[in-house]
């Protein structure tokens, strides 16, 4: 199913999974090979930037919520 020898480009969910795994440093060799072989760098860059923005805003929101509830 997720064989790196497939000639199909990675799906959106596979790219999102790869971006999240790479962000946390747990990317598998099989997925990395698939991404470098069949993925477009621009797609991963855009997803990486979006993931970083969403992650930072989530942390900001959680901190604001905790501080509001602590008072």
Could you report the per-residue pLDDT of 25-64, keeping only the tens digit for each?
Answer: 998 899 899 999 998 999 999 999 999 999 999 999 999 9
5 part of a folded domain: no
| 55-58: long-range pairs with CB below 8 Å, 24+ | 55/23
7 part of a folded domain: no
Range of the domain at 53: 12-70
2 part of a folded domain: no
Confidence of residue 7 (pLDDT cuts 50, 70, 90): confident
46 part of a folded domain: yes
User: 57, 49, 59: which is closest to 23 by C-alpha?
Assistant: 49
4 part of a folded domain: no
Domains identified in the chain, total number: 1
What is the per-residue pLDDT for 6? 65
CA dihedral 61, 64, 66, 70 (to 10 degrees): -170
What is the per-residue pLDDT for 67? 95
- The CA-to-CA distance between both ends of the chain, in Å, stands at 51
């Amino acid at each position: 199913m997720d064989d790196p020898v497939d000639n199909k480009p990675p799906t959106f969910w596979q790219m999102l999974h790869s971006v999240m795994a790479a962000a946390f440093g747990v990317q598998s060799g099989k997925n990395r090979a698939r991404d470098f072989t069949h993925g477009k760098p621009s797609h991963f860059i855009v997803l990486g930037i979006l993931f970083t923005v969403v992650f930072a805003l989530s942390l900001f929101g959680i901190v604001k919520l905790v501080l509001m509830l602590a008072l």
